[in-house]
A and B are shown apart, each in its own frame.
Chain A
Amino acid sequence: MPSDLQFEKPLVELKAKIAELRKFTEEKGIDFTEEISKLEEKARNLQKEIYGSLTPWQRVQIARHPERPTTLDYIKHIFTDFLELHGDRLFGDDPAIVGGIGRLENQPVTVIGHQKGKDTKDNIARNFGMPHPEGYRKALRLMKQADKFNRPVICFINTPGAYPGIAAEERGQSEAIARNLLEMAALSVPVICVVTGEGGSGGALALGIGNRLLMMENSFYSVISPEGAAALLWKDASLAQRAAEHMKITAKDLLELGVIDGIIPEPMGGAQKDINKQCQFMKEALVNSLKELTGKSGEQLKEERYQKFVKIGEYTTFVHSS
């Protein structure tokens, strides 16, 4: 299977061996039941061993897995009556961000998210989930619409980062991101943000100013990609693995740093192993978060969001010896 990751290889090989023995049993009539159950036991242990102690770098690989569910997958499985809405009314429609209206259970909501492609062709069309300014401005337009009609906003974050290109700079990539940070802080409706894969710096944050900020178990959120950090630190992007270990980018790290509010579990081995199950976990988390926020006034939601973000940071005060 091409979609397996390097560190999963021993498990994949073992599973292949078991399948082979099964086939042998069926075809040749030789009984390998005992061997099979022994190997299955071994596989279970190996699985626990591999997936139970994933390193930050392994999680990065799972977060970037080409078969990892995308925003449109979550929309399809979790929301009803969904209508995708397009365009920023200024320049164009950015396929790297999708958004629209629908229902979560019965509650009308606005859903927005980065959109990666499912294959190479799709990825080129989606620009690998790297938005231009018009993507952020579309998102902002939909958030303001949600604010006007008192609909909660749900954001799915999964991007390597905002696109670094000429047109993006010409049209004000910085301003588009900055504007979203400011405007999201001022929304009077519940805002729930979930990092579903890659939380790539400012390009991720621009959909990330929520009353609740959640991360999926194998997602990461970072000020700079591990590759970028390695290039800056050691002038060698191939040391990304080492950078990932240093940077505190996993869901657990961010929970400990007080940046996020919770972690959404994933099926063993990652969301791509069982999309239906993952969508159940996701739905549960969204419904619960929304329940906690329902009934709060616009002012209260704004105040809580403000306090949440202004508290983040660590520093100390220098004491004069004199």
Chain B
Amino acid sequence: MLRDIFSKRRKYATITNPSSSTSTEKKEIPEGLMVKCNQCGAISYTKELEKNLKVCSSCGYHFSMNAFERIIATLDDGHFFEYDSEMISVDPLSFPDYPEKVEKDREKTGLNEAVLTGEGTIFGYPVVLGVMDSRFRMGSMGSVVGEKIYLAIEKAMAKKYPFILFSASGGARMQEGVLSLMQMAKTSAALARMSEQKGLFISIMTNPTTGGVSASFASLGDYNLAEPGALIGFAGRRIIEQTIRQELPKDFQTAEFLLQHGQLDMVVNRKEMKNVLGKILSIHSDRGDE
């Protein structure tokens, strides 16, 4: 039976992006040959853009990346051994329309939940990797997302691997109520334990990282990195505007804004991300205590 599980995991060895070739679904980048940049309006070939890690070649705008694309861009040869792939959400509050919405997102994205966790290598360094996908219920964190991240941290502790997590989330998942809120506590408690064991955690905030996700694990990296232009913050822009009754500056809650206010270590261009991770991993692999 154990072997069955193992062989099942092996199937995930190489990640392909199920949504890159299908034509039925709606994505961040519209269907077709050409794509128009959301920021500068420049037109580029879809294929070219994908080759460029979905970064606009004229202005550097970062289009959003799904979890599969992220894994391919991050891990050596896109090799990924997935953990807990079959864990799915239930409906603990009997919340109106919730199961249907989850089911729809499963079909739409090819994912079972809003995070993929597993392991692979980056420039040969083994890591436990988590990648959130904002297409799945806005990347929101319910019981499954919290549990998968907690289990990934436990795995990283057991294997003494660094843990790297790409966040992309609107926050805690309302439809699972207080259970979602408690996932903030669960993941943070796991990171507390990992920190005590001197385990390395690199948090990368991508667009968007807000609410309960930014107010838990995403802010708790030994290194907190972010992609350019990513929206990062605790409260939503509209809520703040309603509360203080004034308009917010345009760059408010961007990665650059956070960097300026001392909340981030670095803002890293996506095309440099793997190199930066490689450098951090390399420096940590040489530390005196190993």
Contacts and interface: CB of A to CB of B under 8 A. Distances in A.
Interface size class of B (residues with CB under 8 A): 35 or more
Interface size class of A (residues with CB under 8 A): 35 or more
Contacts of B191: 182
B114 to A, nearest CB: 12
Interface string B76-91: 0000000000111110
A209 B86 CA distance: 29
B109 interface: no
B189 A313 contact: no
B212 A246 contact: no
A309 B186 CA distance: 5
A169 interface: yes
Contacts of A208: 185
A170 interface: yes
A171 interface: yes
Interface stretch (B28-36, B51-59, B118-126, B234-242): B234-242
B220 A166 contact: no
Interface string B170-200: 0011101111111111101111110110000
A319 B85 CA distance: 11
Given A166-B244, A310-B190, A315-B87, A223 B180 contact: yes
Interface in A211-254: 221-224, 229, 232-233, 246-249, 253-254
B172 A223 contact: yes
Interface string A283-322: 0000000000000000000000110011011111111100
Contact of B189 (A164, A171, A310, A315): A310
A314 B184 contact: no
Nearest to B217: A178
A162 interface: yes
B130 interface: no
Contact of B88 (A182, A202, A305, A318): A318
B181 A205 contact: yes
B150 interface: yes
Contact of B185 (A170, A222, A309): A309
Given A174-B214, A175-B263, A314-B143, A164 B234 contact: yes
B92 interface: yes
A202 B180 CA distance: 11
A172 B188 contact: no
B234 A174 contact: yes
Contact of A222 (B173, B178, B220, B239): B178
B276 interface: no
Given A185-B189, A223-B172, 6 more contacts: A177-B216, A205-B185, A223-B212, A224-B174, A312-B183, A316-B88
List of 3 A-B pairs having minimum Cβ-Cβ separation, nearest first = A164-B235, A313-B143, A181-B188
16 contacts: A162-B235, A166-B252, A169-B234, A169-B252, A175-B219, A178-B217, A185-B188, A222-B178, A223-B212, A246-B95, A249-B177, A259-B182, A305-B189, A306-B193, A313-B144, A316-B90
Interface of A: 162-166, 168-175, 177-179, 181-183, 185-186, 201-202, 205-206, 208-209, 221-224, 229, 232-233, 246-249, 253-254, 257, 259, 305-306, 309-310, 312-320
